Amino acid sequence: MGDLYHSYGELAGGQIEGIDYQRIWRISQVSTLLHLAIHGGGIETGTTELADAAAADIHDFYSLDAFMPTGTNDALHITSTRYDEPQALTMAQVATHVVSWHGATGATALTYLGGRDYNLRDQIGQCLKDAGFTVQLATEELNGNDPKNICNRNSRGMGVQLEISTAQRAAFFLNGDMTRANRKNITAAFTSYVTAVKLAVSKALVAAGAG
């Protein structure tokens, strides 16, 4: 089944911001890297929290955070190549580097690595492997290589897309419970994962001479 909405304008016309979803963001004064979670909240559960934690108070952060009743949030999914919400686009276009956080299906704890920024992608993959996580290159369906994908719409035309399986995301929250109320109860795995991504980002930005 395809998306119900094919643009942010359609979504905003069909849902109520503040009731069905919210847009949240922070703009850093010191970094040119953006952490994105455009399918956050109850759409691809856990991605808002991961992107937020990875950005911390250093990098830019943006999320569309959906909080409709359980089982209905998929209606707010806009595919990455059509995601045209103005604030997200503006933040992406001025960034030099983008890490876009997504949820994939799967009962095995796994992260699929994609995007056109192969250096940062591989750096993140290596740091995650070093931290004990399982990663693999994404198949064409998930690889985020389309230039229209918002992760690639930065000033360099290349970003990273992380597709994290359901099992892996469940491991990030106490008792595997990914309900909104429990997502504040993170596990050591959550901290280890985010720390690995932060390390990779730091290495890549130092090598690139970016902030």
Structural domain harbouring 34: 8-208
State the pLDDT at residue 12.
97
Which residue type sits at 8? Y
State the pLDDT at residue 210.
59
Banded pLDDT at 206 (limits 50, 70, 90)? confident
Instruction: Give the residue, 27 or 204, on which the prediction is more confident.
Output: 27
Element (H, E) at 189: helix 188-208
pLDDT surpassing 70 at residue 211 = no
State the pLDDT at residue 1.
55
| CA-to-CA separations, 68 to 37, 71, 74, 155, in angstroms, rounded | 17, 8, 9, 34
DSSP state of 4: S
- The verdict on residue 174 lying in a domain is yes
pTM, two decimal places: 0.96
- The verdict on residue 3 lying in a domain is no
Mean pLDDT, range 196-202, rounded to an integer? 97
- The verdict on residue 30 lying in a domain is yes
Whole-angstrom Cα Rg for the chain: 16
Give me the CATH number covering residue 39: 3.40.630.100
Instruction: Give the residue, 211 or 108, on which the prediction is more confident.
Output: 108
Contact 37, 48 (CB under 8 A): yes
- The verdict on residue 2 lying in a domain is no
State the pLDDT at residue 2.
84
- The verdict on residue 41 lying in a domain is yes
- The verdict on residue 59 lying in a domain is yes
Number of structural domains in the chain: 1
Strands 97-104 and 60-66, sheet pairing: unpaired
- The verdict on residue 204 lying in a domain is yes
- The verdict on residue 153 lying in a domain is yes
pLDDT tens for residues 46-98?
Answer: 999 999 999 999 999 999 999 999 899 999 999 999 999 999 999 999 999 99
Query: What's the mean per-residue pLDDT of the chain?
Result: 96
What phi and psi values does residue 150 have, to the nearest 5 degrees? -60, -25
Residue 97 in tokens: 């580097």
d(C-alpha 117, C-alpha 122), whole Å: 9
pLDDT tens for residues 137-171?
Answer: 999 888 999 999 999 999 999 999 999 999 999 99
pLDDT tens for residues 17-45?
Answer: 999 999 999 999 899 999 999 999 999 99
